[in-house]
């Protein structure tokens, strides 16, 4: 292997395109450094955008800040978005993982300071981030289970109890990420967060970006948000454009640093440096290269390498020379982008067959991948995969991160070139084959992230799924993926997974796939609420209500529908559903309240409480009867509904919850602990409610009820 690499290095000695040297970028570098210095002093939030076409060196420009940031004892971290594979929050998660690695290289006191700052900022919610980014344990000096045991009531997804999505906290994960970032930087420890290819940002990540730049949330001193963007690929109505306009109107500073293709002069300087010749000696070559590449820095490099590989550009007597006649005859045709894609595809096709097939697989996996995943996704032996990746790396197509072992494409154009090798009619089938391979080799030790990876492949080839068994299996995978995405507050992606799962159901699914259908539609209703799509809530909830086999099976859909109606101000409809449900559960609630009833229920509840203290309440047994659990859930949902409609009826709800607790025992409602609420109600009855009743009686509030 070493001899082959040495030969390759000799052949590619032309590859001296110095990433540390930028051409015609003096103005942009000055603007970038000025923006960085602004973030070293207190000031309003700012987003720095480096915009330009693909291949113009946006990332290289952004990374010229790295040395200065490190000299200032700060951190330069980055993450990237993918064009085809939507991975919620991927850029921010990748950046945090890079931060964790960098922190571990610092002195012990830095690690300790960061650990304390992160714990103080996130508190009981820290384990939620640890679930998503397990590498955090390396600087927190703890395990996820330890944190989780400290606070069992802090759970986003409670599959252990009802399997329902926590609809009350769509922005919780966003808040956690923002507080984490705020904790790890300040004016003395700056943080530059580079978001690459922001034009492909997913909506969940857009929420994080918006929150980080929200001046009403609180300034994050020392944070520089830097993003690269293919401006020519973003329309005025795209979500990113809409957000940028909103940010600007809210007083957020937007600094746009434009990066264009190189001029002929800059192209000549680049070529002169590569070939170690005076600029005057390469003018004709530079003009010909510029005609083909239009001065696109990435294309210039690739075209020069191609000329060298074709022996048009070669060394003679220790000096570089070129065959002008052959070069002019071989000039490619088409647009700049088309020529570049064809050139890269041709270079890939010249690789060994197993390398080409491996490149097709990783093109389907996205911009980043691991050796293990490529092996699990393909059909060749692990040793062959490792060899293929090394060859692709030696040829400059991919690169392995020495910090975490993750591979990535050196440039998006290489990914596009590899993708172009796949015939359009074969792409869906290849994605399906990869998904099937990953599914067949699935092990519980891989975790739910692996399930999401499988589903991200299967969704492109669902039309080719074979038979009811496979369709049923895929639908269950999409349901698991949706819950994993929801756990990370990526509700739009989660909703997409549930819709794909529903699409895979058979025609008579409520008869033949009852449990799966119930879970999919109930989850879809909850996710629709999280995404603010209330009409979809009604559609999915009604589907469950009409087909469920009992009141217990309808509960998730009913609770989601009630919450959605309340959010829309349709309180009467929501209360009607509550009353009907309680009647069906055998715990009827009075439709009308009155002064006499409120006072009667008050004294009845007070008598039942007697002299019970908080510890007496908390020592009650846990209720296990599903009917009672459902009734307590519905009764609790009536509190916020009545608060804005009929204050006088609220004591009746409090009475009912206290009485049910004393009669049946304690119960966890969804993700909140009822015991804590009951203790509050006990205090309400002992101290506050008597005063409220006397006040209401003095004003005759209840005489007309």
Nearest to 346 by CA among 390, 309, 295, 391: 309
Write the DSSP assignment of 137-149 as a string of letters. Answer: HHHHTS-HHHHHH
Q: How far is residue 628 from each of residues 171, 545, 591, measured CA to CA in Å?
A: 31, 19, 20
pLDDT at 159: 37
- Cβ atoms within 10 A of the Cβ of 701, count? 16
Distance CA 62, CA 577 (A): 56
Report how far residue 177's alpha carbon sits from residue 157's, in angstroms, rounded to the nearest whole number.
Answer: 18
DSSP state string for 553-581: HHHHHHHHHHHHHHHTT-HHHHHHHHHHH
Which 3-state string (H, E, C) describes 166-220? CCCCCCHHHHHHHHHHHHCCECCECEEEEEECHHHCCHHHHHHHHHHCCCCCCCC
Which residue, chain included where needed, has tokens 């509050």?
680
The DSSP secondary-structure symbol of 587 reads: -
284: Cβ contacts below 8 Å, ≥ 6 apart:
324
Residue holding tokens 């494409």?
A: 409
Residues with Cβ within 8 Å of 270's Cβ and at least 6 positions away in sequence, in order, are 17, 23, 262, 297, 300
Q: Give the chain's residues under pLDDT 50.
A: 1-19, 144-145, 148-162, 167-168, 670-680, 682-683, 686-688, 691-693, 695-705
Q: How far apart are CA 455 and CA 450, in angstroms?
A: 9
pLDDT at 20: 54
Contact status, residue 65 vs residue 228, Cβ threshold 8 Å: no
Cα Rg of the chain, angstroms: 31
Contact criterion met (CB below 8 Å) for 571 and 646: no
Characterize 301-339 residue by residue with b for buried, 16 or more Cβ atoms within 10 angstroms of its Cβ, and e for exposed: bbbbbbbbeeebbeeeeeebebeeeebeeeeeeeebbeb
Other beta carbons less than 10 A from residue 591's beta carbon: 9
The 3-class secondary structure across 112-135, one letter per residue, is HHHHHHHHHHHHHHHHHHHHHCHH
- As a whole number of angstroms, the distance between CA 47 and CA 563 comes to 37
Of the CA atoms within 13 Å of residue 65, those in its CB half-sphere come to: 32
Residue 298: which of 61, 31, 11 has the closest Cα? Answer: 61
Contacts 24+ apart (CB under 8 A), 356-359: 356/421, 357/388, 358/385, 358/388, 358/389, 358/392, 359/388, 359/392, 359/397, 359/418, 359/421
**Tokens 């993918």 label which residue?**
82
Q: Which of 327, 329, 328 is nearest to 312 (CA)?
A: 327
Residues 6+ apart with CB under 8 A from 553: 518, 544
Q: For 282-302, what is each residue's pLDDT tens digit?
A: 999 999 899 889 999 989 988
Which among 511, 512, 504, 380 is positioned nearest to 434, based on CA atoms?
380
Contact 158, 166 (CB under 8 A): yes
Helix extents (H) in 53-125: 58-62, 66-71, 90-104, 108-122
The whole-angstrom separation of Cα 409 and Cα 683 is 62
> Can you read off the two tokens belonging to residue 99?
């931060």
Max distance between CA atoms of the chain, in angstroms, equals 109
Decide if 223 contacts 217 (C-beta within 8 A).
no
Would you say 181 and 118 are in contact if contact means Cβ atoms under 8 Å apart? Answer: no
Q: Which residues pair with 158 in a beta bridge?
A: 164
Rounded-to-integer distance, Cα 69 and Cα 553, Å:
56
pLDDT tens readout for residues 155-189: 333 333 345 655 445 578 889 999 999 999 999 99
What lies within 8 Å, CB to CB, of 287 at 6+ separation is 264
Neighbours of 416 (CB within 10 A): 18
Distance between first and last Cα of the chain: 89
**What letter does residue 685 receive in the DSSP assignment?**
I
pLDDT at 646: 63
* DSSP-derived 3-state class of residue 47: strand
Is 489 buried (19+), middle (13-18) or exposed (0-12) by CB count in 10 A? buried
By three-state DSSP, how is residue 398 classified? strand
d(CA 398, CA 380): 19
SS3 content of the chain, % helix, strand, coil (to 5): 65, 10, 30
Token pair for residue 560? Answer: 């989601």
Distance CA 462, CA 27 (A): 50
CB contact at 8 A, 317 and 272: no
- Is the full-model pTM beyond 0.75? yes
Is the Cβ–Cβ distance between 320 and 277 less than 8 Å? yes
Cβ-based neighbours of 542, under 8 Å, separated by 6 or more: none
Distance CA 220, CA 359 (A): 41
The DSSP H or E segment spanning 46 is strand 46-51
Phi, psi of 666 (to 5 degrees): -85, 155
Residue 177: the pLDDT is 93
Q: What is the 3-state secondary structure (H, E, C) of 225-262?
A: EEEEECHHHCCCCCHHHHHHHHHHHCCCEEEEEECCCC
Q: Using alpha carbons, select from 141, 118, 145 the residue that is nearest to residue 131.
A: 145
Q: For residues 32 and 226, give the distance between their C-alpha atoms in angstroms, rounded to a whole number.
A: 9
């Amino acid at each position: 292997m070493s001899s082959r690499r040495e030969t390759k290095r000799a052949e590619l000695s032309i590859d001296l395109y110095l990433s540390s040297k930028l051409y015609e970028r003096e103005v942009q570098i000055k603007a970038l450094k000025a923006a960085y210095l602004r973030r070293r002093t207190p000031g309003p939030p700012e987003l720095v955008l480096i915009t330009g076409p693909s291949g113009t060196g946006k990332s290289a420009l952004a990374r010229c800040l790295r040395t200065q940031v490190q000299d200032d004892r700060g951190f330069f971290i980055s993450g990237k978005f993918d064009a085809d594979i939507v991975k919620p929050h991927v850029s921010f998660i990748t950046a945090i993982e890079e931060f964790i690695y960098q922190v571990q290289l610092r002195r012990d006191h830095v690690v300790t300071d960061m650990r304390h700052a992160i714990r103080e900022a996130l508190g009981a919610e820290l384990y939620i981030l640890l679930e998503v980014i397990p590498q955090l344990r390396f600087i927190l000096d703890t395990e996820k289970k330890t944190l989780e045991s400290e606070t069992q009531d802090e759970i986003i997804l409670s599959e252990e109890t009802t399997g329902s999505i926590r609809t009350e906290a769509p922005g919780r994960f966003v808040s956690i990420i923002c507080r984490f970032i705020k904790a790890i930087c300040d004016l003395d420890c700056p943080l530059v967060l580079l978001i690459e290819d922001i034009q492909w940002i997913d909506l969940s990540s857009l929420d994080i970006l918006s929150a980080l730049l929200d001046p009403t949330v609180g300034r994050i001193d020392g944070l520089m948000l830097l993003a690269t963007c293919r401006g020519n690929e973003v329309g005025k109505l795209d979500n990113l454009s809409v957000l940028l306009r909103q940010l600007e109107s809210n007083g957020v500073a937007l600094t746009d640093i434009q990066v264009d293709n190189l001029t002929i002069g800059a192209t000549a300087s680049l070529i002169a440096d590569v070939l170690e010749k005076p600029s005057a000696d390469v003018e004709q070559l530079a003009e010909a290269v510029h005609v083909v590449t239009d001065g696109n820095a990435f294309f210039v490099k690739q075209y020069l390498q191609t000329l060298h590989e074709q022996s048009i550009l070669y060394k003679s007597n220790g000096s570089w020379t070129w065959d002008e006649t052959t070069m002019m005859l071989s000039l490619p045709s088409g647009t700049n982008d088309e020529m570049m894609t064809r050139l890269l595809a041709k270079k890939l096709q010249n690789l060994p067959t197993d390398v080409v097939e491996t490149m097709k697989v990783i093109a389907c996996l996205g911009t980043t991948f691991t050796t293990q995943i490529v092996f699990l996704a393909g059909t060749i032996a692990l040793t062959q995969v490792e060899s293929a990746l090394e060859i692709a790396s030696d040829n400059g197509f991919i690169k392995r991160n020495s910090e975490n072992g993750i591979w990535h494409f050196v440039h998006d154009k290489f990914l596009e070139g590899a993708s172009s090798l796949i015939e359009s009619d074969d792409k869906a089938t290849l994605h399906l084959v990869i998904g099937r391979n990953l599914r067949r080799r699935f092990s519980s030790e891989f975790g739910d992230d692996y399930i999401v990876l499988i589903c991200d492949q299967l969704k492109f080839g669902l039309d080719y799924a074979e038979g009811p068994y496979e369709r049923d299996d895929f639908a269950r995978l999409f349901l698991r993926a949706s819950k994993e995405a929801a756990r990370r507050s990526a509700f739009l992606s989660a909703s997409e997974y549930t819709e794909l799962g529903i699409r895979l159901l058979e025609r008579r699914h409520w008869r033949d796939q009852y449990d799966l259908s119930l879970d999919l539609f109930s989850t879809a209703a909850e996710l629709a609420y999280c995404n603010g799509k209330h009409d979809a809530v009604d559609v999915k909830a009604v589907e469950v209500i009409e087909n469920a086999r009992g009141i217990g099976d309808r509960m998730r859909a009913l609770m989601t529908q009630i919450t959605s109606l309340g959010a829309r101000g349709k309180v009467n409809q929501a209360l009607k559903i509550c009353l009907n449900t309680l009647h069906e559960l055998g715990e009827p609630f009075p439709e009308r309240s009155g002064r006499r009833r409120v006072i009667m229920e008050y004294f009845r509840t007070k008598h039942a409480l007697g002299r019970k203290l908080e510890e007496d309440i908390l020592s009650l047994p846990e209720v296990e009867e599903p009917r009672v659990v459902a009734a307590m859930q519905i009764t609790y949902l009536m509190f916020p509904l009545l608060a804005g409609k009929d204050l006088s009826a609220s004591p009746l709800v409090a009475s009912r919850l206290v009485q049910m607790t004393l009669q049946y025992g304690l119960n966890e409602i969804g993700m909140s602990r009822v015991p804590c609420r009951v203790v509050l109600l006990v205090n309400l009855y002992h101290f506050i409610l008597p005063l409220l009743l006397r006040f209401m009686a003095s004003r005759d509030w209840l005489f007309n009820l």
